[in-house]
Amino acid sequence: MSTLLQQRPVHVIGIGMHPYQFSSDTPYIQLGLRAVREALQDAGLAWPQVQSAFVGTAALGMAAGRVMLRHLGSTGLEVAQVENASASGSTAFRLACLQVASGERDVVLAVGVDKFGDGRRAVLKDGLAPLSPTANIPLVKFALLARRCMREQGLRPEDLAQVAVKNHGNAARNPYAQFRKPRTLAQVLASPRVAGDLTAMQCCPRGEGAAAVIVVSDDALRRLGLDRRRAVRVLSSVASSEELAGDSPALVELVRTSSAAALGQADVGASELDLVELHDAFSIEELLYSEAVGICAPGEGAAYLARGASRIGGECAVNASGGLIGMGHPLGPTGIGQVAEIARQLRGEAHGRQHPGARLGLAHMIGLGSVAIAHVLARP
């Protein structure tokens, strides 16, 4: 069965970012508008040509999108605000793509913006007493998962830490990243332990920032005279949520099924991927999710990294941006930032960290709840 994205092609034509950073006094409007203006300039579009906007944010409060975008001019465009935890931006991008693919709009903006909020989650308001004080803390869950994998797969603390070494190294080459210093294995292991075997440098920072992507139809490319050579095709977009799993951890199974659905929809094999941007809020995630996506065999995530296969210039560059660990994780922008990084790489414009010959990329994001959003993108 063909999908909307196959029937009516959708292209990423403009990308923009505000560098991710630690909490500051900068208003979110300045963060967001920098990213939007950069995306407009990159696309060669004027603000009145944008017909619709989806705004991903997790911590700003009601009506943040309209309050921000009116500073560009009140054009009457449709504005919708999207909250889906860490997957807020990914969901905003998916909705933008589907709106173009449906034929309802031709030029749509997806923008993610956030500042550090109060961090209160709905799971803390469900009226049910938690099993323990740490039952709903992601850090604790992943520290326990890491310990399980160390016991069952023979992983060492060094195997986990190498994820952070790679991703801090990638982030050091990314002008939009929150952390801009390469780190050695000794430094990662010596950083303070946060939970279990996870040290501070193996955990993503929270901060602020913005990312924007403009998607258009084939008709808009022709009508507006846009540069098709820089138009990255969106081959697929899928969304799903956690199911009951057997022996496999539920989140790992969620990544496996959602990435398989996205690859199947795009008619692409995991071995064909050149780039993967995935949720590495904690180092153990990248090892497990690399296996779940299918770029390496089950139980081979650490070995895949150790032989350099997931580095820039390797078989498939995983988190060339620096990932959440190195680039940062401001929530609302994170998923759109993944798409922007893959688009930049597929265009051959990721100066200083370009993965050679990049043709296909997968952006995969997890959100509390738990949900998964996955997109496959192709070089023009």
Check: CB of residue 368 under 8 Å from CB of residue 138: yes
Check: CB of residue 158 under 8 Å from CB of residue 190: no
**Residue 22 token pair:** 């630690």
Q: Which of 231, 246, 281 marks a domain boundary?
A: 231
Q: Are residues 177 and 30 in the same domain?
A: no
Give the count of beta carbons closer than 10 Å to the beta carbon of residue 180.
16
DSSP-assigned states of every residue in 225-290: T--GGG-EEEEEEEEEE----SSS-HHHHHHHHHHHHHHHHHT--GGG-SEEE---SBHHHHHHHH
CA distance 355 to 316: 9
Q: Are residues 181 and 319 in the same domain?
A: yes
Q: Considering only CA atoms, which of 102, 62, 103 is closest in space to residue 81?
A: 62
Q: pLDDT value at position 244?
A: 80
Tell me, what CATH number does 301's domain have? 3.40.47.10
Residue 125 forms part of a structural domain: no
pLDDT tens, 214-266?
999 999 999 999 999 999 999 999 999 998 866 778 899 999 999 999 999 99
- Work out how many domains the chain is built from and give that number: 2
Q: Are residues 211 and 192 in the same domain?
A: no
Beta-ladder partners of 29: none
DSSP 8-state assignment for residue 46? -
Residue type, 55: V
Q: pLDDT value at position 369?
A: 81
Phi, psi of 333 (to 5 degrees): -80, -15
Q: Where are the alpha helices (DSSP H) in 133-175?
A: 138-153, 157-171
Residue 150 forms part of a structural domain: yes
Q: Are residues 150 and 62 in the same domain?
A: no
Q: Are residues 57 and 112 in the same domain?
A: yes
Q: Are residues 195 and 223 in the same domain?
A: no
The CA-CA-CA angle for residues 202, 205, 210, to 5°, reads 135
pLDDT tens, 64-75?
999 999 999 999
Q: Are residues 38 and 77 in the same domain?
A: yes
Q: Are residues 220 and 245 in the same domain?
A: no
DSSP-assigned states of every residue in 71-85: GG-----EEEEE-BT
- How confident is the prediction along the chain (380 residues), in pLDDT tens digits per residue? 679 999 999 999 999 999 999 999 999 999 999 999 999 999 999 999 999 999 999 999 999 999 999 999 999 999 999 999 999 999 999 999 999 999 999 999 999 999 986 556 555 555 667 666 666 678 888 999 999 999 999 999 999 999 999 999 999 999 999 999 999 999 999 999 999 999 999 999 889 999 999 999 999 999 999 999 999 999 999 999 998 866 778 899 999 999 999 999 999 999 999 999 999 999 999 999 999 999 999 999 999 999 999 999 999 999 999 999 999 999 999 999 999 999 999 999 999 999 999 999 999 999 988 999 999 999 98
Range of the domain at 210: 4-120+206-231
Phi, psi of 345 (to 5 degrees): -65, -45
CA distance 355 to 353: 6
Q: Kind of pairing, strands 275-277 and 360-367? A: parallel
Residue 170 vs residues 90, 95, 162, 319, 359: alpha-carbon distances, Å: 22, 29, 12, 8, 19
Q: Residue for token digits 């300039």?
A: 41
pTM of the model: 0.95
Contacts of 234 (CB under 8 A, 6+ apart): 5, 9, 10, 11, 12, 97, 215, 375, 376, 377
